Structure 1
């Protein structure tokens, strides 16, 4: 079983080519793809909020266009106007349930997660956050122990000697640092390793590492062959712009495309990319640091409260982790920037 955390599910949503590849690879190896009920609820909530914001931006854009055209040329209400957000959200949830096995949180694990949150015990953070993360981890651990017990019973029924072939591990895929050892990100934290003991639970940080874990061919390659492509650079620039504007103003990104500009990011540091190929696709995980600059002019009214004032420029640094999907010709068809940290250096 391969269990995806919320930070990984963004990369393999229904309709995404990465999900097609991961599903086929998992099925060939006898694995199933799973998420917990908490991950499902988090993802559905995020989709609902994103759709609500997008609809508001669409309606605002429609009103703005209609200010400048003749009545006969005005944009009429789109098909979205009468389509409830909840309906689309329900359809999205149904697609997730069809693509993934949903593991329900055991009441004992839910209570234990609350206790650890109160006691500040791992994987909860020192500030008390992490109750949901703990419930997700405990659900994955319970699945691993159940899988191990089931394999042992089946072996005894078949007359096999104890200590024989181990069951397929449960692979927990998450980039959340709260689960991993600070000295070795690919391993569980010491306290969690002690709790896991010999249960077949394995930690992997991303989809490519999960594919490698189940025997899919992978390699480490020069990431510049990807990051120097114009299509990737365009997607990176948009991701950095979006993240920076989110820091500077509460207004949505669509409110100021004409007066904010971001310079093309310049590479400062880049590690090798972990890459695997299959089904006509190339998946690459890469991490790097880019510098850029954002400048504004002719600030429009109505954005208060905001830290954006007047015309000025800011130098920024962006630490990026991305899953890049390329087709057979090498064109980047998707880049999921799931971890984007922007620092204003001015």
Structure 2
């Protein structure tokens, strides 16, 4: 069993080696890189990304990133390609082939076949004198000094370099397309990420009850309204449905401590007349930010007519926004 110190050193050394490798890629963001971006932007087909071994795994991640940022893309395993999957490549598709050495048997077999079809071939390769580099029309150079693995064998630094170069390409394409948050939301409708980009406060408030009392309501009516609707609060509104204040569970407890006689108290006397509000068309993630800032559990939702509803901290928890 290695010592704690040696384990920490190994982790740090790995991160330093991979960080160094990524910084080394900067000089390879060159004219070929620009040409690749331009070809993909002008292309009428998809980007087919292929590889073998660990490079195949990186290819799958790059495809996922491309698709989620507006670049239609498909993954093809290099071994399967020569057993029928080449048929997925259409006339206008662009192919990116990923390989550290560029000289594996599968890549040597595949690259001439890709060239025969006439598709633009981009080689993401760590050896610029390799067979892949010779056949490629354009090169994304991902050369590294050595792997982080102490035996210089396990793909570590090399796959990190491939992943980083793929991200650099995807982000450059994203920016060239003026791909914005609304576009991103269209491709990520599910999960907390998508919800942060499109879910509005109104959708949450409409699921809840809409408790309210008049300013003249008795303490008994206030307590019943809070208990009945299970939101920990009731809103005080006037005859025109305009918000005058809010009464929470905490306000009720403070009232019991402050007033010995509750008989003649009304809602207007115990309410907080400066409640925190949010417009119904605001993103739900903004509601969370306000709830956290003010250290409260609910916000009053408003529209042009006045009181629209309540959004509670639990609503945001349920949607995975926290």
The TM-score bracket by the shorter chain reads under 0.3
Q: Give the alignment's TM-score, normalised by structure 1.
A: 0.19
- Greater fraction of residues in helix: 2
Larger radius of gyration: 2
Q: Give the alignment's TM-score, normalised by structure 2.
A: 0.20
- Greater fraction of residues in strand: 1
